Amino acid sequence: MQIRQKNENLKWYRLSLSFLLCLLVLPFVALEDSYTLKEVNIKKTDGEPVHIYTAEELKKHDGSNENEAILMGIKGVVFDVSEGKRFYGKESPYNILVGKDSTRAVAKMSLDLSDMTHDISGLPASTLKALDDVFESTYMAKYPIVGYMDYLLEKRPDLFASIPYTQPFKITLLAEMFRAELGQQCPSGFSVASDPQYDIST
């Protein structure tokens, strides 16, 4: 009888200890499973408007043109990584990351084409924290900011409330304007940027 009672006591002791351990560990598990990405701070200029980039515009800065700066977007911030040409230039190991906003790829430390996007949905807390760490210790610390992505402006216009900025130039919207003006559809393969009669650079 006494042995049975001792076994029962030991059983309840173990259950109580397990419950206590759960109470102690769960807050840390919850902390690990949740992480809020740090907010981007818009760099103020001396009266000069900050440049807003579209995905189309950023493509021109992929390292393939020696006369263009090599640009890369992370968290909606566009960095000039030309100084890291041996890493990001044409045929360099990380060239796939430039000419686009590659936030997801940086977060995952990935070079997969499917990760070359600013979409970070579904990423775990540890990966988001790693993104913030790399963003601050590598890119913010080493490379100059030259502008911001249009999606950041659209998502968080409040960040730009007191800062002048350029209006993003979108070829697709411009083409729609010409369609409306001409009253006809643009021919197949039409390029507003390349057609001299629609040259707006002057």
Reading the block at residue 106, the tokens are: 């940086």
Residue 82: its H or E element: none
Using DSSP's 3-state secondary structure scheme, residue 134 falls into helix
pLDDT band per the 50, 70, 90 thresholds, residue 48: confident
- Count of Cβ atoms closer than 10 Å to residue 3 Cβ: 7
- What residue has token string 């990966």? 127
Strand-pairing partners, residue 52, are 148
What's the rounded Cα separation, in Å, for the pair 72 and 82?
10
- Per the CB < 8 A criterion, the answer to whether 126 and 31 are in contact is no
3-state helix, strand, coil in the chain (%, to 5): 50, 10, 40
What's the rounded Cα separation, in Å, for the pair 90 and 62?
8
Backbone φ and ψ for 150, nearest 5 degrees, come out as -65, -30
Task: State residue 13's pLDDT score.
Answer: 47
What's the rounded Cα separation, in Å, for the pair 141 and 71?
16
pLDDT band per the 50, 70, 90 thresholds, residue 22: very low
Angle at 195 between CA 184 and CA 69, to 5 degrees: 130
What are the CA-CA distances from residue 13 to residues 3, 8, 191 (Å)? Answer: 15, 9, 77
What's the Rg (C-alpha) of the chain?
26
The model carries a pTM of 0.70
The CATH number given to 52-182 is 3.10.120.10
Percent share of the chain, pLDDT over 70: 67
* Residue 109 CB partners (closer than 8 Å, separation 6+): 130
Domain ranges in the chain are 52-182
For 89-145, how does the pLDDT look when each residue is reduced to its tens digit (9 = 90+)? 999 999 999 999 999 999 999 999 999 999 999 999 999 999 999 999 999 999 999
